[in-house]
């Protein structure tokens, strides 16, 4: 069921329009049959989780910890169950002596949910603005992450396009590709569906081992930090696969954002996000025309050495 036309001033044909595209992008969009409608900006600010899974987990393990073989307990936060969350223990070389603690890597499900909620709200508001202007889709979507106090802010921006004379879609598409890339997608038999974001967050709780490595072992690998980064990479790709499977056949134009910053209670937070464009196939790729044969017009070299002083063109 298609959407109804709106009365937004920017949705009126012939009215003023704004765009974030350059001149080349506007020309390519016109060749595809699209006209710019408006440059859209949306945002969402979500307060950080007050008591994350790491806080609960840390309190429980400090109380119930017996030696270095006990597996940590992860609190049931987030859309997935605690049993599926990533955890890893790094025993203290001094074992369970007073004042010495092991190190832990823990997937922070609560923080991941806050990240997903802020991204989801911002993208939903961008689509609502596109619907209000009667657009068929939004291209060149960009996500900007920020922080406001203890809250997480996500801003998204893109250019809404309309195909004059075409019926409105049930929901406008969003894509992070440019107009030039959109033309190549269509030529390949693919259409954009939605911007998808994979998210992963791993808390690194420092133990005796990592503190010693950071302060004394210069130039050596820190296994706990390397493991946290590799785990975040696996988690974010798995999350991206889940998002794409809900709306499309595949993903193109992926962009990775990796950050390591100070976390809660002297911990480190490894945060990884991948922004991509979910696409669907609507036809087989367009076949390129066969290359024209090229005839060598140069004179054929005669057998034997050329006469003295004669220059023979090279084919």
At residue 261, the pLDDT reads 82
Question: Can you give the pLDDT at residue 293?
Answer: 65
Please tell me the predicted confidence (pLDDT) of residue 207.
Answer: 82
Q: What is the pLDDT of residues 154-211, one digit of tens each?
A: 999 999 999 999 999 999 999 999 999 999 999 999 999 999 999 999 999 888 778 7
pLDDT of residue 138: 97
214 pLDDT above the threshold of 50: yes
Percent of the chain exceeding pLDDT 90 equals: 48
pTM of the model: 0.75
Q: Which of 46, 49, 85, 93 is nearest to 68 (CA)?
A: 93
Residue 69 pLDDT > 50: no
* pLDDT exceeds cutoff 70 at 17: yes
The predicted pLDDT at position 291 comes to: 66
pLDDT at residue number 114? 87
Compute the average pLDDT of residues 236-245. Answer: 94
- The pairs formed by 17-26 with CB atoms below 8 angstroms and a separation of 24 or more are 19/159, 20/140, 20/157, 20/158, 20/159, 21/139, 21/140, 21/159, 21/178, 21/179, 24/179, 24/180, 25/140, 25/178, 25/179, 25/180, 26/179
pLDDT in tens, 28-62: 999 999 999 999 999 999 886 644 444 444 444 44
Task: Indicate whether 73 pLDDT > 50.
Answer: no
Residue 16 pLDDT > 80: yes
Beta bridge partners of 202: 107, 270
Tell me which DSSP letter residue 68 carries: S
User: What pLDDT sits at residue 40?
Assistant: 96
What is the pLDDT at residue 3?
Answer: 52
The model's pLDDT over 103-135, given as tens digits with 9 standing for 90+, comes to 889 998 888 888 899 999 999 999 999 999 999
CATH topology (fold) of 12-46+114-187: Translation Initiation Factor IF3 (3.30.110)
The pLDDT value recorded for residue 36 is 95
Tokens for 115, please give them.
């990240």
What's CA 42's distance to the chain center, in Å?
Answer: 17
Q: What is the per-residue pLDDT for 179?
A: 95
Mean pLDDT of 66-70: 40
Torsion from C-alpha of 52, 58, 64, 66, nearest 10 degrees:
140
Residue 156's nearest CA partner among 40, 262, 7, 246 is: 40
**CA–CA distance, 282 with 304 (Å, rounded to integer):** 60
- Identify the residue with better confidence: 56 or 82: 82
Determine the pLDDT at residue 92: 76
pLDDT at 6: 46
Three-class DSSP category at 111: helix
Q: Tell me the pLDDT of the chain averaged across its residues.
A: 79
Q: Quick check: 41 and 166 in contact, CB under 8 A?
A: no
Tell me the domain boundaries of the chain: 12-46+114-187, 53-109+196-281
Q: What is the mean pLDDT of residues 217-233?
A: 86
């Amino acid at each position: 069921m298609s959407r109804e036309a709106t009365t937004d001033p920017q949705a009126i044909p012939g009215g003023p329009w704004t765009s974030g595209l350059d001149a080349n992008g506007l020309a390519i969009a016109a060749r595809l049959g699209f006209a710019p409608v408006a440059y859209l900006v949306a945002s969402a600010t979500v307060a950080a989780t007050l008591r994350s899974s790491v806080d609960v987990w840390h309190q429980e393990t400090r109380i119930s910890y017996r030696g270095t073989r006990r597996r940590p307990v992860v609190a049931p936060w987030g859309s997935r169950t605690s049993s599926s969350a990533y955890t890893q223990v790094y025993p203290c070389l001094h074992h369970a002596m007073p004042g010495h603690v092991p190190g832990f890597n823990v997937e922070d499900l609560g923080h991941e949910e806050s990240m997903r909620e802020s991204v989801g709200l911002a993208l939903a508001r961008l689509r609502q603005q596109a619907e209000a202007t009667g657009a068929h889709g939004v291209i060149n979507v960009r996500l900007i992450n920020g922080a406001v106090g203890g809250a997480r802010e996500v801003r998204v921006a893109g250019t809404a396009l309309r195909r004059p004379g075409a019926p409105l879609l049930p929901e406008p598409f969003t894509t992070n590709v440019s107009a030039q890339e959109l033309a190549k997608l269509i030529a390949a038999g693919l259409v954009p569906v939605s911007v998808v974001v994979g998210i992963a967050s791993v808390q690194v709780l420092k133990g005796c081992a990592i503190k010693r490595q950071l302060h004394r072992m210069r130039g050596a690998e820190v296994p706990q930090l390397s493991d946290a980064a590799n785990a975040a990479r696996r988690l974010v790709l798995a999350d991206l696969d889940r998002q794409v499977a809900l709306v499309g056949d595949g993903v193109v134009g992926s962009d990775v954002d990796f950050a390591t910053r100070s976390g809660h209670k002297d911990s480190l937070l490894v945060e990884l996000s991948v922004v991509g464009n979910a696409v669907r196939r609507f036809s087989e790729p367009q076949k390129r025309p066969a290359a024209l044969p090229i005839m060598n017009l140069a004179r054929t070299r005669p057998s034997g050495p050329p006469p003295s002083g004669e220059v023979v063109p090279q084919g």
